[in-house]
Amino acid sequence: MAKWKKTISLALIAVMAGLTACSSNGGGGNADPSASPSATNAGSGNEAPAELEKKSIRVVFNNGGRKFPDGMDENNNPYIDYIRENTNLDITLQLPPADGYQDALNVIMASGDLPDSIYTWDASWFESYVKQKALQPLNEALEQYGQDLLKNIPEDAWKTVTIDGNIYAIPSMNAVPGNELMYVRKDWLDHLGLQPPKTLEEYREVMRAFKEDDPDGDGQDDTYGFIMAENLARMAPFVGAFGIQKGMWTERDGQLVNASTLPEMKEALAFIAGLHKDGLIDPEWMLNKEANFSEKIASGQVGLFSAFWYDTRGPILTSKQNDPKAEWIPLEFPTGPQGKQGTTGYGYIAGYNVVPVTSKNPDAVVRMLNFMNGEGYKTLLLGFENEVWKTENGKIVTDFEKHNEHIYRQTLGESIRPYGAEEERARLDSLGVEFKLNDNIDRIAAVAIRDQYLGVPTPGMGKHQADLTKLETEYFTEIIVGKQPIEAFDEFVAEWKKKGGDTITEEVNAWYAENK
C-alpha cells in the first residue's frame, strides 16, 4: 500500500518536473540554448542574463530582525535590485517576523497560496514536508542552472538533503566549523607561576590553583577553577579529550553508535564529576544562563573556560575593560589519556531552501540562488565595493557606518551561504584582528568532531529524540554533581536503548549502509 502510494507520487513528481521543463521551453520563444538540458554554458555565471527567460517568483527568507534604512523595504533596495538585474527575474520577497518565523511558515504552508521558495533552518520541518510530499525535487533544475551551487556546496551537504535520489532542498552552509575552545587568563597563570596546561591533569592543576591559590591576589576566596552552563553547555573540550562528543553519531566497527552511550562518555563524566566534587567548578553551573555565565567571567570570578569563538568580543573583552591587567590567551585543547583532543563540530547545514510542489518555477528559484551563492555572494556578504568596503594594500577595509546601514543585505547572503568562502575570513578580520576570530576558528577546525550521520532526522528521532536528550541531560547532570554514582551511567545506557535509542540506531545504520 505504502509502496503503491510512493510510486504514484514519484510519477506525479516526474510529471511535474516534465511540466516545468516544458514551461521553460515554451515560454521564452528564442530561449533555446538555456532550455536545452545539455547546455554546457547554462548557469555558469558568464552567460548574459538577458538570454534567460524573464520570470516572476515569490521567495520567503528569514531576516533575523535586521532593519531597512528609511524609505527602503525588502522589495525596494539596491541589493534585491542587484539580484533582479543579474538574473532577469522579477523577485518578490516576503520576510515574516523573525520571532515566530517557523509558525509563520506553517501557516504559509496551510494557506494554499504558496510561494516559490521558502527558507527554513529546521531539519525536522524540512523532513516532515518531504514526507508529506509537499516539496518538489530540484535535481533537474540544479543540473541546468545550478552549476555554482553544485560547485560551492560539498557532497556531504547534498547527502543531507537527498532522499531516494531526489534533492529536495538547496542548503545554506554553516560559516564556522564549531563553537568552543579553551581560553585562560595568562596574568593569573603568571601570578601563580604556572605554564599553560595541555593534559587533563595539567588542566586540573590549573583549576585547583585558580580555585585555592588566590589567582587575583586580593586575599579572598572568590574565584572558581572552571565554569559551565545550563544543559551541560561549555564542557565540549573536556569530552573531546576522550575522543568523542556528546550525542554525536560515530563509527565503531563499521556501525554508527551514539557517543553518549560509549565508555568514553563515562570516563569523561567521571573526570568532570571529579572536578565538581573537589569544588573546582562553579557550584551553580547548572543554573547558569548566558547572562550569568558571561557575568562571572567579566567580573573576574573565573579565569578558565570553554569560550565560543566570538567570546573575545563578548565576556573576554568586558573582562579586559573591567580589569586592565586581565590578559586572555587561547589554550591548546586538553589532551586525554589516549592523546586525543576534540570539540563539538557543527553540521554543514545552516538552513534549507525548498520549493513547494505547487511552484511552476523551480528553475527560476535555482537561477536566483545560483547567482546569490556564486557570483553575487561577495556583494551580498560584504556590501557594494567602494561603498561599504574597499581594498587597501590587499586588505579589506570596512566603513562600519555604511556597513550597519546596509546590514539588511545579509539576509540575502545568509540564506544561501557557500562553504568555506574566502570572503568570510576577510570579513571577520575586518571586525578587528585583535579578536583573533579567524585564529579561533582555525583552532576549532583542527579538532572539531563532526556527527557522522548526515541524513535528515529519522522518524525515530522525531518520536524519541526530545525524550532521549532530556534523559541524557538529567542523568549526566546528576552524575556530575554526585547525586548519582558514576555506575548509574550503565543504567542510563540501558534506559536510553529501551526508550527508542535502539530504534534510532537501526535507522541511522540503514542510512549509513547506503551512504558511507
Partner 1 sequence: MSAIDAAEATELNLNVVDPKKKRFRNIRSYWDLYLIMLPGILYFLVFKYLPMWGVVIAFQDYSVFAGIWDSEWVGFQHFRDMFADDDFYTIFRNTLLISVYKLVWGFPGPIILAIMLNEIRHMLYKRSIQTLVYLPHFLSWIIVGGILINVLSPSSGIVNKVLGLFGIEPIFFLTSEDWFRTVIVASDIWKEVGWGAIIYLAAIAGIDPQLYEAAIVDGAGKWKQIIHITLPSMMGVIVILLLLRLGHVLDVGFEQIFVLYNSLVYDVGDVIETYVYREGIQQAKFSFTTAVGLFKAVIGLVLVALANRGAKKLGQEGIW
Partner 2 sequence: MRLTRGEKYASVLNYIFLGAFALLALAPFVHVLAQSLSSHQAITSGKVSLWPVDFTLESYSRVLGEQEFLRSFQISFLRTVAGTAVNVVLTCLLAYPIAKPYIKGRSVIMFLIVFSMMFGGGMIPTFLIVKETGLLNTFWAYIIPGAISAFNVIIIRNFFQSVPAELEESAKIDGGSNLGILFRIVIPLSMPAIATITLFHAVGHWNSFFDTVLYVTDRKLFPLQVYLRELIMFNQSGIDNNSGYSANMDSTLLALESIKAAALIASTVPILIVYPFLQKYFVKGIMLGSVKG
298 counts as binding partner 2 under rule CB under 8 A: yes
Residue 29: CB minimum distance to partner 1, A:
35
Q: Which of 198, 478, 497, 509 binds partner 1 (CB under 8 A)?
A: 478
**Cβ distance 88 to 50 under 8 Å?**
yes
CB-wise, 85 or 284, nearer to partner 1? 284
Residue 221: CB minimum distance to partner 1, A:
11
48 counts as binding partner 2 under rule CB under 8 A: no
| Rg of the chain (C-alpha set) | 26
Residue 149 backbone dihedrals phi, psi, to 5 degrees: -60, -45
Name the binder of 73 from partner 2, partner 1, none, CB < 5-8 A by kind.
Answer: partner 2
CB-wise, 404 or 473, nearer to partner 1? 473
Name the binder of 2 from partner 2, partner 1, none, CB < 5-8 A by kind.
Answer: none
Ordered DSSP codes for 51-96: GSPPEEEEEE---TTPPPPTT-BTTBSHHHHHHHHHHTEEEEEE--
286 counts as binding partner 1 under rule CB under 8 A: yes
3 burial type by CB count under 10 A (0-12 exposed, 13-18 middle, 19+ buried): exposed
110 counts as binding partner 1 under rule CB under 8 A: yes
Ordered DSSP codes for 105-121: HHHHHHHS---SEEEE-
Name the binder of 499 from partner 2, partner 1, none, CB < 5-8 A by kind.
Answer: partner 1
Cell triple for 500: 527508542
431 counts as binding partner 2 under rule CB under 8 A: yes
Cell triple for 193: 607561576
Output the CA angle 413-414-418, nearest 5 degrees: 80
Q: How does DSSP classify residue 197?
A: P
Q: Which of 11, 98, 510, 513 binds partner 2 (CB under 8 A)?
A: 98
User: Which residue is listed with cell 561549555?
Assistant: 234
134 counts as binding partner 2 under rule CB under 8 A: no
**Cβ distance 67 to 97 under 8 Å?**
no
474 counts as binding partner 1 under rule CB under 8 A: yes
252 burial type by CB count under 10 A (0-12 exposed, 13-18 middle, 19+ buried): exposed
CB-wise, 310 or 384, nearer to partner 2? 310
Q: How does DSSP classify residue 99?
A: T
Q: Which of 322, 358, 391, 515 binds partner 2 (CB under 8 A)?
A: 322
299 counts as binding partner 2 under rule CB under 8 A: yes
10 burial type by CB count under 10 A (0-12 exposed, 13-18 middle, 19+ buried): middle
- Count of alpha carbons within 13 Å of 225, Cβ hemisphere only? 22
483 counts as binding partner 1 under rule CB under 8 A: yes
Q: Which residues bind partner 2 (CB under 8 A)?
A: 64-67, 70, 73-74, 94-101, 103-104, 106-107, 110-111, 121, 173-176, 290-291, 294-296, 298-299, 308, 310, 313-315, 317-319, 321-322, 346, 350-351, 400, 403-404, 407, 410, 414, 417, 427-428, 431
Q: Which residues bind partner 1 (CB under 8 A)?
A: 102, 106, 109-110, 122, 124-125, 128-129, 132-134, 230-232, 283-284, 286-287, 289, 291-292, 462, 466-467, 470, 473-474, 476-478, 481, 483, 499
